[in-house]
Amino acid sequence: MTADCFAENLLKWYDNHGRHDLPWHHNRTAYRIWVSEIMLQQTQVATVIPYYLAFMERFPDVQSLAEAPVDDVLSHWSGLGYYARARNLQNAAQTVMDEFGGAFPDTQEALESLKGIGRSTAAAIIAQAFGKRAAILDGNVKRVLARYHAVPGWPGQTSVLKQLWEHAEEHTPSERIRDYTQGIMDLGAMVCTRSRPKCNDCPLQKGCAAYARKETNLYPGSKPKKAKPEKTTWMVILEDQNGRILLERRPPNGIWGGLWSLPELDPAYGADELQEACERNLGLDCGEPELISGFRHTFSHYHLHIQPARLGVTGQQGVRDNGQHKWLHRHEALALGLPAPIRTLLTNPEQATLL
């Protein structure tokens, strides 16, 4: 496959207008590219950059990541979301150490065998780190190709995705693969944007089917929308006489998997029942609850109304430090991997109200 007009025009644009100075563009090892790719899944570049820099400082190579305590990895992910990414990241680092002698594989199949690496991320590593030809298909590329070829339908649909992959393969050149891969993502992020694309600045305008029809707004097709359910929960700040707060580790799967959070209680409890519920469920001796103003946190598929309450705890009976629970001072808790709204709540309860 030789570079067609698509790739040539794109590369010329990239040379003049693309992003050439992102943190993972320096010292392009497979490790550094891989971490950037995982962080960038469903997360915008500007959000990722500070996390990436801190992560690289703490885990400079695959061995340091493989050997780290999982809570250390999660704390560096706190606020990024999709926490399974962090757990899979460390799992893959351990696999690289144990099964690949600490060196990242450079084939599609071997890379996809690592937890958290799918077709597109494997291709990005092959292209960016190893300079070998491989086609990527992320959100930016999907938008560019859906418009260029006027591919109808929502890319989440298997048939649409299949067509987009075919176009991705067809346009990917064998020369300058790093620049092409970065360039098509940059074009999607900077020119072929979701709304009000800058078609007059686009190097692909001439061949773009959506532009020719003045229908860039129709591509890619939008996701069928569903109403998000509303859920409610109590979250209790149980504080002992030394000012320590009880934290609870969430189960490895499900929302906020593996993170430390506040104990939750069924919203069916009334405020007047909280004290007794805490005492019965956790074996604690609690005082009267002090209600904190509630707030709403929105996930991709539901809304969660969080109603916090603070209860003083007397004595040392009841739940102690173990694998699932910890009594920690505020500043110690903030060093753990916490869900974003819990971090806000512990940092500044008043600010949480504004969310």
Partner DNA sequence: AACTCGGGGAT
Partner DNA sequence: ATCCCAGAGTT
Contacting positions for DNA (CB under 7 A): 19, 22, 24, 36-37, 40-47, 79-84, 88, 112, 115-122, 124, 138-140, 142-143, 157-159, 182, 185-186, 188-189, 193-196, 220, 222-223, 225, 228, 253-257, 297-301, 339-341
Do 92 and 110 touch, CB atoms closer than 8 A?
Answer: no
Residues with Cβ within 8 Å of 290's Cβ and at least 6 positions away in sequence, in order, are 309, 310, 311
Do 82 and 47 touch, CB atoms closer than 8 A?
Answer: no
CB of 284 to DNA, least distance (A): 26
Query: Residue 328's beta-bridge partner residues?
Result: 245
Q: Between 112 and 273, name the residue whose CB sits nearer to DNA.
A: 112
CB of 313 to DNA, least distance (A): 26
CB-based burial of residue 298 (10 Å sphere; 0-12 exposed, 13-18 middle, 19+ buried)?
exposed
CB of 34 to DNA, least distance (A): 11
Q: Between 132 and 240, name the residue whose CB sits nearer to DNA.
A: 132
Residue 108 per-residue DSSP state = H
Q: How many C-alpha atoms does 48 have within 13 Å on its Cβ side?
A: 17
CB of 37 to DNA, least distance (A): 5
Joined tokens for residue 15: 């040379």
C-alpha to C-alpha distance for 39 and 27, rounded to whole angstroms: 17
Residues with Cβ within 8 Å of 134's Cβ and at least 6 positions away in sequence, in order, are 108, 122, 123, 124, 126, 127, 172, 177
C-alpha to C-alpha distance for 285 and 312, rounded to whole angstroms: 8
The number of helix segments (H) and strand segments (E) in the chain equals: 16, 9
C-alpha to C-alpha distance for 4 and 183, rounded to whole angstroms: 15
CB of 33 to DNA, least distance (A): 8
Q: Between 179 and 239, name the residue whose CB sits nearer to DNA.
A: 179
Q: Between 296 and 329, name the residue whose CB sits nearer to DNA.
A: 296
CB of 228 to DNA, least distance (A): 7
Spot the catalytic one: 37, 239, 276, 288.
37
Q: Between 90 and 140, name the residue whose CB sits nearer to DNA.
A: 140
Q: Between 16 and 195, name the residue whose CB sits nearer to DNA.
A: 195
Task: Give SS3 for 125.
Answer: helix
Our answer to whether residue 279 is catalytic in this structure is no
- The residues assigned a catalytic role are 37
